[in-house]
Amino acid sequence: MPRACERHLPERPASLPGTPPPLTGLPCRPVRFANRLGRAGMDVLSEVLKVVKLQGALFYNGEFSAPWSIRAASGCALASKFVPGADHLIVYHLLTEGHASLRLESGERIALSAGDLVMIPHGDPHILGNGQSTPPPVDDCEQLEKVVKQGLRLWRMGGGGEVTKFVCGYMACDPRLSQVFLSGLPPVFKVNIREDPSGRWLEDSIRFSVDHAGAPRAGGEAVLAKLSEVLFVETIRSYISNLPAGQKGWLAGARDAEVGKTLALMHRDPARPWTIATLAKEAGVSRSVLAERFRHYLNEPPMSYLTRWRLQLGTQMLGTTNHSVAQIASEVGYESEASFNRAFKREFEVPPARFRAQLRAKQSKGIGRKVG
């Protein structure tokens, strides 16, 4: 399971300027945008995104002419500059003009063209390039200080051939809750966002913002952050919609009518005293059919999944609230503090109170390092 980002994410660097696009109705939260799409799988994805807090940014605006090659920073390297204390970030690149290819260190290669958004959800290091006999890749880890200082001002390089334009961004999210859908994503995948109106709207808005990065206006930072988050949601939505028919895993299950509805019910109201019978009734299938389909996609029974999700919510509340353990137990669906303690210790090997103490000690050390 790839590790996701740590809690308590700091604000984005103030050096990333932008300007609001000439559009109205920018969603206040990505989940609202997701709800409006009305596509398969979005109901449960929307419910997850109500809990999984996203923090995104656009940080890189490139115009490279062939031949060129660049070793893109890993999620961990970006985190050290943009989100100190995070394990890694989800990285993505949006091509707005030209062609390129992306290669992972494992050797996997993806061809890219205008309108493609390529996402590296687990932050793996990778190489981008275009042109015959590409030169040795430039290591952009060495350029990160310059990138941070210049914000989204255009960075040009290359040999003078075909031009490729692209914008790069990152996404940070809750470490434990994000495992729900990040675990179902491959090391790299691409989606062409020009295939539907919402994607074209996003591309136009992003391109407008970065093209005017040199003349920041009030609200530009907030607009860029929201555009980055909405772009992430739109990409996941498209990826779910285009999964092959035989695909398994959480994302494929979210697209399935019965399993997706069951997941949405559990995520929408995890504290409700669900049973396999009540879930099956809500999904409109028999208990045996629901159990079989759930196992097919997620390789576990519905009630086991619900238990894990409740405990993940419990860890979030332990780290972000001052609620008592008894109150948290009730809010995530346990009848007593004792039953919550037992289940929590089975999953995380320590009781909730000790888990909270260890988490706060770790957070205090992180703050001390940054202050010092």
Cα separation, 115 vs 165, whole angstroms: 10
Residue 140 pLDDT:
73
Q: Which of 146-150, 247-251, 324-328 has the lowest average pLDDT?
A: 146-150
Given a contact cutoff of 8 angstroms between Cβ atoms, the answer to whether 155 and 62 are in contact is yes
Residue 280 pLDDT:
96
**CB neighbour list of residue 159: distance below 8 Å, 6 or more residues apart:** 65, 66, 67, 68, 131, 135
* Helix residue ranges, H only, 66-143: 75-82
Q: Between residues 71 and 150, which one has the greater pLDDT?
A: 71
pTM of the model: 0.77
pLDDT at 260 over 50: yes
Collapse the DSSP code of 61 into the 3-class scheme (helix H, G, I; strand E, B; otherwise coil) and give the result: strand
Q: What is the mean pLDDT of the segment spanning 34-62?
A: 69
pLDDT at 209 over 50: yes
- One CATH from 2.60.40.420, 3.40.1280.10, 3.10.180.10, 1.10.10.60 for 256-362: 1.10.10.60
Q: Between residues 303 and 73, which one has the greater pLDDT?
A: 303
Q: What is the mean pLDDT of the segment spanning 54-74?
A: 87
Residue 365 pLDDT:
66
Q: Between residues 297 and 223, which one has the greater pLDDT?
A: 297
Q: What is the mean pLDDT of the segment spanning 131-151?
A: 75
Instruction: Give me the residue label for tokens 């208990």.
Output: 287
pLDDT at 4 over 80: no
Q: Between residues 191 and 136, which one has the greater pLDDT?
A: 191
Q: What is the mean pLDDT of the segment spanning 61-81?
A: 86
pLDDT band at 371 (very low <50, low <70, confident <90, very high): very low
Q: In whole angstroms, what separates CA 246 from the centre of its chain? A: 24
Portion of the chain with pLDDT greater than 90, in percent: 41
* Helix residue ranges, H only, the chain: 30-37, 42-51, 75-82, 144-150, 179-182, 197-211, 220-241, 250-255, 257-268, 276-283, 287-298, 302-320, 325-331, 337-348, 352-371
pLDDT at 35 over 80: no
pLDDT at 352 over 80: yes
Q: What is the mean pLDDT of the segment spanning 218-226?
A: 71
Q: Which two tokens stand for residue 55?
A: 């923090």
Helices 220-241 and 42-51 cross at an angle (nearest 10°) of: 140
**CB neighbour list of residue 222: distance below 8 Å, 6 or more residues apart:** none
Collapse the DSSP code of 258 into the 3-class scheme (helix H, G, I; strand E, B; otherwise coil) and give the result: helix
The topology (CATH level 3) of 30-241 is Jelly Rolls (2.60.120)
In the chain, the amino acid numbered 326 is A
Cα separation, 73 vs 302, whole angstroms: 39
Q: What is the average pLDDT score of the chain?
A: 81
Residue 218 pLDDT:
53
* Most confident segment among 25-29, 139-143, 288-292: 288-292
Q: Which of 100-114, 130-144, 262-276, 325-339 has the lowest average pLDDT?
A: 130-144
Residue 27 pLDDT:
38
Q: What is the dihedral of CA 176, 252, 36, 279, to 10 degrees?
A: -80
Cα separation, 57 vs 209, whole angstroms: 12
Given a contact cutoff of 8 angstroms between Cβ atoms, the answer to whether 49 and 34 are in contact is yes
**CB neighbour list of residue 13: distance below 8 Å, 6 or more residues apart:** 57, 82, 148
pLDDT at 22 over 70: no
pLDDT band at 8 (very low <50, low <70, confident <90, very high): very low
pLDDT at 64 over 80: yes
**CB neighbour list of residue 154: distance below 8 Å, 6 or more residues apart:** 61, 62, 63
Helices 30-37 and 42-51 cross at an angle (nearest 10°) of: 170
Q: Which two tokens stand for residue 122?
A: 């687990």
Q: What is the mean pLDDT of the segment spanning 106-116?
A: 93
Q: Between residues 366 and 105, which one has the greater pLDDT?
A: 105
Question: In this structure, what DSSP letter does residue 194 have?
Answer: G
Residue 163 pLDDT:
96
Q: Which of 28-32, 188-192, 208-212 has the lowest average pLDDT?
A: 28-32
In the chain, the amino acid numbered 83 is V
* Residue spans per domain, the chain: 30-241, 256-362
Q: What is the mean pLDDT of the segment spanning 294-316?
A: 94
Residue 23 pLDDT:
35
